[in-house]
Structure formats: structure tokens, C-alpha cells
Structure 1
Amino acid sequence: MLLTGRAALTADDATATALLNCLVREVCAPEQQVWRDGGRLVVRLPRAGVMLRAALARPPAGPVYRLGPPYEEHREGAWIAAAWDRLADLVAGELELATGRANPEFLTQVGDSRGALAAILDARAEPGPGGLPAAIARYVESEQDLVAGHRFHPSPKSRQGAPSVWLRYAPETRSRFRPHWLAVRDDLVAGEGDGEAFAALEALAPPAPPGTRLLPAHPWQLSLLAERPVLRDALAQGLVTDLGPAGPEAVVTSSVRTVYVPAADLFCKFSLDVRITNCVRKNAWYELSGAVALNRLLGPLFEPGTLLAEPAYRSVGLADRRLHEGLGVILRQGVGGLPGTPLLAGALAAPYGSTLAGLPALGTPDGALAWWDAYVAQLAPPALRAYLDHGVVLEPHLQNVLVCVDGDGMPVRAVFRDLEGTKLTAGRWDRETAGLPRRVREALTYDPDRGWNRVVYCLVVNHLAEIAATVADLHPALERVMWDQARRHFAFAPDAPELRALLAGVPIPAKANLRARWARSADRAATYVDVPNPLAPPAPSLN
């Protein structure tokens, strides 16, 4: 059985793996109900008393287990096969016992995610048409390679609506579409930031009628808003003109609602009133304003090309907040000016992908160690310095980081993106944010402890641990060596107590996605569980 992350993907196995990953991390391991049995991992549900087991590729070095089929349940003295839906039932029963609360939505969400992945696998196309520079084509492919989704989420592909509606807009099916254009009367255009930032996009769109400005819209979102009375009246009165789909194609990126327009080298982050995984993906009014405010505040702190700018947003100023938010689009800097070939970090860690394995630098153990050293050097210090030096909480998780590589695949720059998850620590930015509306300030702020937990989780658990495990899929003997090597990139500020604690080996926080789904809590309110710290110093030898 192949457990290197290159096995053929099935919706059943991917769903089972995600459920077991969550169960181990958030329920069984914290209660010391996990143990190895040869090449298998055995887990006991602490309250239900049920024992399960799965194949284990190798002993973990830190918080990442590499689990795979067969998945089995111990019943009446024997191990029998446990299908994904049986595992979902067992997980739900354990969580109900642990919390004293039921969640009638949970099994439906898991089933929807499994069904969505099956539909994606059936519809996944070959790479799209050519015509793009080689580096941009590889970048686009990386954005659309996250087929199985988050390995530590119980319903990573859960999407609201029928596949017949959303498959045409799914990144995993390598979707492209032309934006739908609206012309909005000048006095009804809402927006902030650099209005000229839209010029490159507007130049490729149909001409705006006199006295109007152009507004790109996501076709799916526009269909969801089509029956809003205020929008229907505005169209009937000529306040808004529907120009239809036009201009160059947009490529759907991993977030679904954000698209890349290669011809303009710009991203459009659209609102989408659809629940995807955890959240309805709309641009709330305070997030629209907050993106522009953060762009203004943070731009001077980062070297060019390390934080993708979000210089402006545009929407309609009609008397309907849902329209203002639902048609709001945030413009983001493109990738054309980045060095080498930008790749989505999530694609490098995709357990069923081939992006990382295709990099020449990883062909030998020595090359893999050099690659990892360069990777950590580009990613970790900038993310940590942003917090320690400036009180800026980046979210350097796998979907928020692009890694630029040279011709051999060696990392030459890490690029952070998406200001929605970026926060400012309370007390450090009070003067600079004093003029912002209260709700905008609240949305931009974390207390220091919460901010640090977010940085460490995203950087170490969500990101580096997954990359290290994927490299170890290629070279299994390296995983422990890689973490020993990584320590020096966390030792740049010896007076920082946060870094000293990390390097001393304190347990580190991992976001509890399973428990958050069970509690039906917002992503911002998600709790954390402690997991083993792979940066802990090597155990002393007794010889």
C-alpha cells in the first residue's frame, strides 16, 4: 500500500482520513488514547469506548500523523472495515458524549463534503488552455490543485448548493469564466482606496456608458442577488446597467470566490453569499473598509512583493446593505512581478498532488534538506518579526502564502496574501486606527495572546508541519532532521520570550476545526488544542 501521499484519491478514503486526523488531534491524543501497533495507529474514543485503527506511514515528528486506509473498528474481538459514514457516526457520538450537546447538522455536513469531493473528481478537467507564460501557468495549476482540501477539517469540501450550480466555479475543476460587468451611475459608486487601481481591469472590459463606472461581478453571486428589489429597481431605472459577461477570462483560485485575471495581472476578491467549509464568503462592509485601511497601514512595513497589496474596493451605494456587501469587490495585486515561479504553498503540501514532488531540488536527501532550509528561512522570520516587531498578526497558513521558486525549485521568496485574516494586536496600533469606525477597528484587532496563538498555529502547525511531512513522504528519514535544522530560523530574537518558549518545546496550539464545527461557532471564535511541538530540542543522549 502506498502511503506517501501519491496514492489514488477517492472521496471515501479522503473523508475517512480527514475525520480520523481530526479525531486524533482534538479528542484522542489530548486524552492519551492513541498508540502505535506496528504499522498501524490505534485510537480509542475515550467516552464511547470504541477502538479504531488505520495504517500509519511512519512515526510522527511533531503534530502530523500520516494515516491511510484500511480504516477498521474493533468489534466482538475482531477488526472489521469501517466505512467513512460509520466513522462519522462514531465521531458524532463521541462528541455528543464529550460536550453534552447534539449537532444534527454534523453528519449532513460530512456527507455533503464527501459528495462534493466525489463530484469534483468526476468533473476534474485536464489543465486549461494555454496562452499563459510558463510561470503563470504553473501558478494557476497550483491554485487549482487542492482537490482533497484541509486534512484536519471534518468536512473540507462542504459547499452550499448543488454541484450542478457550483462545479462551473470550482477551482478543482480548473474553472475559468468571464466576469459579469455592471455600469453604476457615478454618484452611486461606493468605494475606498486608489480608484485608479481598477484601470487595468477596466481597460479590458466593455466601455462604460457616460456618467457611470464599471463594477465587475461574480456571475454566481449576481444570480443570488438577482431578486433583490432594490437591485431590480436600479436596473429598471437605469441607475445600474447590466453589460453582461465580457472581457478576459478569470481563473478561479483556491478560495473559490477570489479569481485571478492574468490579462490584467490582478485578483478580484468577490463576495459570495455561499457557505464554503466554515463560513459564508461575503465581504462584510467592515471587511471592505478594513482591507483598504490595513493596506495603507502595513504597506510601509513590508518589502515590495512580500505582502500582496489590496489597494481598493468598489461596490454600489444603493440603499441595501446586502447589495453593498454582496457586490463589493476587493482588488488585489497580481503575481506577474514576483521573482521566479510563484506556487501556492497549499499545493506543495497537497497529499494527493504532485507539485512538490515535481521540484528538481527535492530529488535527493541532501537537496531536500537544502530546499527545506531555504523554505523555512523565507517563511518563518518575516511572519514572526511582523508580530514581534510590529504587532501584526499575519495568517501564514497554506492557502495564504505563495512560495516563489527558481528553475530548480529552490524557494527564493515567501509572499503573504489576503488581508482579511491579518490583524493588529490591541494596544500597538491605537493611534493609527483611531479614526476608523468602531466596527472596523474591532474586526482588525486581536489581543496579543490570541494573535500569537494564531501566528504559531498557522505558521508551524498548519503550514510548516504539513510541508515537512510532505517532504518526508519523499524522504522518510529526514523528518526529525528537518525540524532540528529549522530551529535556527526561530532563534533570531533571543530576548523574545515567545520564541524562547517555542524553542524550549512548549506544546503549541492547533485550531480545533472538528470541535468548532460541532459547536457551530464562527471561525474567529474557534478554540485550540495543544499538540506536540516539533521545534523541541533533541532529547539528550544518556551515553
Structure 2
Amino acid sequence: MTGAILARHAAGGAGTTGGQAEQATLAALLRCCVREVAGPRGQVWPAGRYLTLRLAGELLRVPVSGGLALRLDGPAERLERGRWLALTADRLVRLAEAELAGSGAGRNDEFAGQVARSRSAIAQLLGARAAARPPDDPWLASEQALVHGHPFHPAPKARGGDGWLRYAPEAHAAFPLRLLAVRDDVRAAGGDTGAIDRLGTAPPGHTLLPAHPWQLELLAAELAAPLADGRLADLGEVPGPAVPTSSVRTVYAPGAGACLKFSLDVRITNCVRKNSWYELAGAVELTARLAPLFAALADRFPGTRWLPEPGYRSAALGTRLVEGLGVIVRAAPWAVTGPGVTPVLAGALAALDGGRWSGAVPDAVVAAVRRDPVRWWTAYVDRVAPPVLDAYFRHGVVLECHLQNVLVGLDAGGLPVEAVFRDLEGAKLVAGRHEVSALPGPVAAALTYDAARGWHRVVYCLLVNHLAEIAATVARLAGPAGADRPGRSGPSSAGRAGAGHPATDGLLAELWARARDRLDRHAADHGRPPALADLLAGVPLPAKANLATRWARAADRDAGYVPVANPLSAAHPGAHP
């Protein structure tokens, strides 16, 4: 889609998409307030089918289901003079500001603007999608399905810079990359980058260097001199469009047969998305170190796959351009999935639109979930959870298995048969279990977590960010229709606070009971390490505090955690925060 068409639909879409954007914005911020503000202060409680909370002195309520995922089943309201009135996102922002500032967390004059820009971005994305055609490739369609963004982020679609819509995956964007040539005496590279050479032919004495067109716009001033003196050459556009994936800056380049992870000097949600010099080297280092790990995981857990990042290229023109022009080569999922297996982004499987999966999810998956949700869920847990836990306990490796870093391989019948792990920026080595002393200090620091921090990251990504969202979606899709399904445990857990449907709530509890059984077996295989035994005993889970991080204007790596109820506990099956 051209920039002109995108701009036209961005301008004209507010009237038809503004309501959806408002509701998505309100829902995300309200979840954050429950989890990070009202919940920890004991200001959340059930009231019939509603979840009720007090924020900055006001009483709010909303019908919810989905347990830990906190899905909103109706409009949020506020109590005023004995009457329940509609709650708006703007009013909720003011309440959150008052609560946070009044609790000693300081002030943040940027916060309301970030939430407003995120709401505007969602409206623009919805307008652009209405006139765009999604990719025919089911994997790429799933990558472009995350219109509402992170469900527990106060500004899930906040992003900096101008002209972002033409590059947005959620708008079904596709665009040609620009192809530079870097003179060989100023080339920076590591590992195997042969996939890049499929994109064209470099002039003698030069090496090809693909670039994201948006990044070139952002770096125009810094690039002027090296383009003028010949250290860089602009070879024009790469034939054929590249397709952005869910992270915005990583694209699938058909000509290379690979994914390319670029730097973008803009803030997207919490971070400025650039490849720091130590991350370029770290990707190659981790690929070499993790190759035997994933071979062992695939042998122990058939269906385990990963997307290696074998090399990077850039231009040695100072730190700013080394990082700004740095591109990491990543394998594409179709190259690693088995015959007849379709990779789909886990985030797309977690997201519902009006109680339904988007067109990015194959029809066979919908049918499989509704036919036997417990079987589908058990297969899902078996593919995703054991490799992550085994990597941590047996190998001392943290896999950042959140919803955007895992692809699920589906067979022709829609059942999960593979799990594909990606993005080595989030993968870490547990300090003390790997020798990193020979690496440069910043590279070693970027590659390691201490054991406690690593375990928190594993538990948050696997259970809170990932499995809780998938479980809520499965229960919503299959719950009411599955109330009389043979073998169901019945509605013994139904009627919990905020349950939209007793059958949905009962199914959610059953799903978590099955997950607990599978993880219990895995714990036995490892001799029941204390951290895993505590998890199964129901200790609270760590949930990333995105609201507090944005309020403090802190770096994402410094984000803290808040405790939330553990749905693996028999006492709190499927509990909400």
C-alpha cells in the first residue's frame, strides 16, 4: 500500500475506528491499573460478575473473565452519586496519574500524551487495515495481526518518529528495502551473512548492506558524508517488497530467503529499537553457543525448533552508524518447520477480536479448539513449556518465550506439533554456568542474567505473558459451547469473580489443572528443583510492571515485577490478578 493511501485512511478512519481504539486503550490501561496499582494495595475485589476496584478515590467496575489474562467482557463504569456511568480512557488516565503521583512515584508530564498517541495509532491502523490486503502467507498474516498490542501496557502502540504507518506490520505494509554497498575497508561484519548477497551484486571492493528505508530517513544527516566520499554507495531499491513482522524492525526479505533485523532509532512501546554494537556480536556468539543446546532440546522434545542468527553486517563509521546500519540475519521459520507444518505467531493465537480469532488464524485451528479444547491446550503446553524449563534447569539458558518470540507449528488438523523459538536479544546465559570471561565486557554483560533474574524472566514470559493469554483465548472460544462436552470436570470451579460464563470459567480451571499435571511430570524429571516445586505449589508469579516502567521513564531492562495470583495453584485456578 502506498504512503498516500495509508495517509488517506489514517485521516478518514477516526470516525469508524475511534470507538474500537478507545475501548482497546481503556482495556489495556485498566488491566495495568488492576495489576500494578489497585491490586497490590488491596483495592480490588469481586462483586457478582464484576471486578471492582478503587482508584484515586473513585469506584470502578467491569465484567471480566479469562483469569490472569483479565479479559474485559463489557464496558467499564465509574460510580458517581449512586449511578454507574461510562468510564473513558481520558478519565482513567487522570485517575492513574493522581494515584501514581499521590503515592510518591513522582510526576510524569509525558504519560497522558503517550496513551493518547497509542490510541490514535490504533485508530490509524484499523483504518489502514480496512483497505489493505493481508499477506497470503499464513505466518506473515499472523505476524501482522497484533493491532491492539501488549494487553498489559499503558500505551501498547506508542511509537516515535514520523511516517511510521507506511512501515507498520499491523497496516499490512510491504515495502522495498534499500541496498547500500559499504567499501570493504570500512565493512563491519561477523559470522555467516551469505543470505544478504542474494539481494544483488556489489561493486568491486564493496560488500552489500541492506537498509530499512525508514532508518535511512532518520540517519540522513549522518549518512551524507560517507555517501559523498564513497565509503558508502546507494544502489537503490531491492526488487520486490519486504514484509515487516510483529516487531516492526524485523522484516522477511524474500530475495534473501531470510529475516533481517534492522535498527530503528525510534521508541516503540518501551525501547528505542536499535542493534547496539554488543548485540550485533552477541547474536553471533549466542548462535554458536545455542546450536548444541537446541540440538539436545529437539532430541529430548521432538518438535522444538529455533531461528538462529548466524551473522551481522554494518559499516565501521563510528558507533552511531555501526549500530544504526547494523543488520542481523535470522533464519525464516519455513526453513525450519517440518513438512505439512504451518508456523503461526503465538501472539496471534492469543489475540481475539470481538470474541473471535482474526483471519490470521487458520480455520483448522478454530475447529480443533472447539472440538476438543483440552486436547489442543495440552498439545500446546507440551510443545512450548518443557523446552523452556529444560533449557533453564539443565543447560542454564533463559529463553525469552513471550508471545512475540514463539511461533507455533500447526499440523493440517490445527494441532500444535512444533514450537519455534526466536530473537536472541532476549536469550541469556545464567551467570556462573557458562564461561564468558574471554568476551568483551559489554558483550558478556548483555548475554548473561543471574539465576534469580533469569528465573523471574522465564516464569513471567512462559506463564504470565504467554500461557495465561492462550488459556484465556481457548476458554473463551470453547467454553460456553463445550459445557456438555463428555469428560468435562463440570462447573465445580464456576461462578468465580468476574466470570463471564460459568462454563468458560470451569474450562479455564480445567486447562490450568492439565498444565499443572504436565509441568509436575517435568519437575519430577529434574528432581523437583526448589524453584519449580514452589511454582507448582502456588507461589505468586512475577508480572512485568509496564505501567510503573513508563511512569518512571525507565529503560525496559530495568523494569520491575509485581506479584500476581498463580493459576497453577489448586486454591486459585485461573485466578485474576
Q: Same fold by TM-score, threshold 0.5 exceeded?
A: yes
Instruction: Classify 1:270/1:127 alpha carbon distance in 2 versus 1 (closer, same or farther; 3 Å).
Output: same
Distance of 2:231 and 2:344 partners within structure 1: 41
Q: Contact 2:344 / 2:361 at 8 angstroms: preserved in 1? A: no
Between the two proteins, the alignment pairs up a number of residues equal to: 513
Q: Contact 1:154 / 1:513 at 8 angstroms: preserved in 2? A: yes
Q: Contact 1:362 / 1:368 at 8 angstroms: preserved in 2? A: no
The alpha-carbon deviation at position 142 of structure 1 amounts to: 0.1
Q: Structure 2: which 5+ runs fail to align?
A: 1-16, 299-303, 480-503
Deviates more, 1:239-248 or 1:527-536: 239-248
Distance of 2:364 and 2:152 partners within structure 1: 25
Q: Structure 1: which 5+ runs fail to align?
A: 1-6
For the pair 1:270 / 2:300, whether they are aligned, the reply is no
Q: Contact 1:183 / 1:213 at 8 angstroms: preserved in 2? A: yes
1:311 — aligned with what? 310
Instruction: Classify 1:128/1:361 alpha carbon distance in 2 versus 1 (closer, same or farther; 3 Å).
Output: closer
For the pair 1:334 / 2:342, whether they are aligned, the reply is no
The alpha-carbon deviation at position 413 of structure 1 amounts to: 0.6
Distance of 2:61 and 2:141 partners within structure 1: 35
Equivalent of residue 379 in structure 1, options 372, 376, 384: 384
For the pair 1:294 / 2:295, whether they are aligned, the reply is no
1:10 — aligned with what? 20
1:50 — aligned with what? 58
AA at the equivalent of 1:50 = E
Q: How does 1:91-240 map to 2 (within 5 A)?
A: 91-125=96-130, 128=133, 137-162=137-162, 165-194=163-192, 197-198=193-194, 200-205=195-200, 207-228=201-222, 231-240=223-232
The alpha-carbon deviation at position 531 of structure 1 amounts to: 0.6
AA at the equivalent of 2:62 = A
Distance of 1:145 and 1:468 partners within structure 2: 19
For the pair 1:531 / 2:564, whether they are aligned, the reply is yes
Distance of 1:381 and 1:511 partners within structure 2: 22
Distance of 2:255 and 2:571 partners within structure 1: 50
State the SS of the aligned residue for 1:536.
Answer: coil
Q: Contact 1:154 / 1:514 at 8 angstroms: preserved in 2? A: yes
Equivalent of residue 480 in structure 1, options 509, 512, 516: 509
The alpha-carbon deviation at position 191 of structure 1 amounts to: 1.0
Q: Contact 1:266 / 1:334 at 8 angstroms: preserved in 2? A: yes
Instruction: Classify 1:78/1:361 alpha carbon distance in 2 versus 1 (closer, same or farther; 3 Å).
Output: closer
AA at the equivalent of 2:174 = R
Q: Contact 2:284 / 2:311 at 8 angstroms: preserved in 1? A: yes
State the SS of the aligned residue for 2:314.
Answer: strand
Q: How does 1:59-74 map to 2 (within 5 A)?
A: 60-61=66-67, 63-74=68-79
AA at the equivalent of 2:188 = A
For the pair 1:493 / 2:493, whether they are aligned, the reply is no
For the pair 1:508 / 2:541, whether they are aligned, the reply is yes
2:11 — aligned with what? none
The alpha-carbon deviation at position 408 of structure 1 amounts to: 1.2
Q: Contact 2:430 / 2:451 at 8 angstroms: preserved in 1? A: yes
For the pair 1:344 / 2:345, whether they are aligned, the reply is yes
Superposed CA deviations along residues 39-71 of structure 1, whole A, max 9, x for unmatched, are 3221112xx221111222x3x54x222214422
For the pair 1:400 / 2:392, whether they are aligned, the reply is no
Distance of 1:424 and 1:349 partners within structure 2: 28
The alpha-carbon deviation at position 32 of structure 1 amounts to: 2.3
The alpha-carbon deviation at position 29 of structure 1 amounts to: 1.8
Distance of 1:467 and 1:157 partners within structure 2: 21
Distance of 2:133 and 2:196 partners within structure 1: 22
State the SS of the aligned residue for 2:116.
Answer: helix
Distance of 2:416 and 2:327 partners within structure 1: 31
Q: Contact 1:343 / 1:402 at 8 angstroms: preserved in 2? A: yes
Q: Contact 2:334 / 2:343 at 8 angstroms: preserved in 1? A: no
Deviates more, 1:401-410 or 1:66-75: 66-75
Task: Give the root-mean-square deviation of aligned CA atoms.
Answer: 1.9
State the SS of the aligned residue for 1:269.
Answer: strand
The alpha-carbon deviation at position 348 of structure 1 amounts to: 0.4
AA at the equivalent of 1:459 = L
Distance of 2:572 and 2:203 partners within structure 1: 71
The alpha-carbon deviation at position 204 of structure 1 amounts to: 3.1
2:552 — aligned with what? 519
Distance of 1:453 and 1:20 partners within structure 2: 24
Superposed CA deviations along residues 60-94 of structure 1, whole A, max 9, x for unmatched, are 54x22221442211122222122111111111111
The alpha-carbon deviation at position 110 of structure 1 amounts to: 0.5
1:460 — aligned with what? 463
Superposed CA deviations along residues 232-273 of structure 1, whole A, max 9, x for unmatched, are 222111121111112232101000000012343200000000
AA at the equivalent of 1:213 = T
State the SS of the aligned residue for 1:256.
Answer: coil
AA at the equivalent of 1:534 = P
TM-score by length of 1: 0.91
Q: Contact 1:361 / 1:367 at 8 angstroms: preserved in 2? A: no
The alpha-carbon deviation at position 150 of structure 1 amounts to: 0.5
Equivalent of residue 252 in structure 1, options 224, 231, 244: 244
For the pair 1:38 / 2:48, whether they are aligned, the reply is yes
AA at the equivalent of 1:140 = L
Q: Contact 2:549 / 2:559 at 8 angstroms: preserved in 1? A: yes
Distance of 2:516 and 2:236 partners within structure 1: 54
AA at the equivalent of 2:208 = L
Superposed CA deviations along residues 473-531 of structure 1, whole A, max 9, x for unmatched, are 11224110000001122121332111111111111100011111111111111111111
The alpha-carbon deviation at position 31 of structure 1 amounts to: 2.2
Distance of 1:129 and 1:16 partners within structure 2: 27
The alpha-carbon deviation at position 314 of structure 1 amounts to: 0.2
State the SS of the aligned residue for 2:103.
Answer: helix
2:34 — aligned with what? 24
Superposed CA deviations along residues 408-429 of structure 1, whole A, max 9, x for unmatched, are 1100111110000111111111
Instruction: Classify 1:129/1:326 alpha carbon distance in 2 versus 1 (closer, same or farther; 3 Å).
Output: same
Distance of 2:272 and 2:40 partners within structure 1: 31
Distance of 1:373 and 1:310 partners within structure 2: 30
Instruction: Classify 1:104/1:68 alpha carbon distance in 2 versus 1 (closer, same or farther; 3 Å).
Output: farther
AA at the equivalent of 2:99 = E
The alpha-carbon deviation at position 313 of structure 1 amounts to: 0.4
Distance of 1:365 and 1:259 partners within structure 2: 33
TM-score by length of 2: 0.86
AA at the equivalent of 1:168 = R
Q: Contact 1:254 / 1:399 at 8 angstroms: preserved in 2? A: yes
The alpha-carbon deviation at position 445 of structure 1 amounts to: 1.2
State the SS of the aligned residue for 2:234.
Answer: strand
Distance of 1:289 and 1:533 partners within structure 2: 38
Distance of 1:182 and 1:462 partners within structure 2: 38
Equivalent of residue 253 in structure 2, options 247, 251, 261: 261
Equivalent of residue 414 in structure 1, options 405, 419, 430: 419
Instruction: Classify 1:34/1:168 alpha carbon distance in 2 versus 1 (closer, same or farther; 3 Å).
Output: same
Q: Contact 1:503 / 1:537 at 8 angstroms: preserved in 2? A: no
State the SS of the aligned residue for 1:359.
Answer: helix
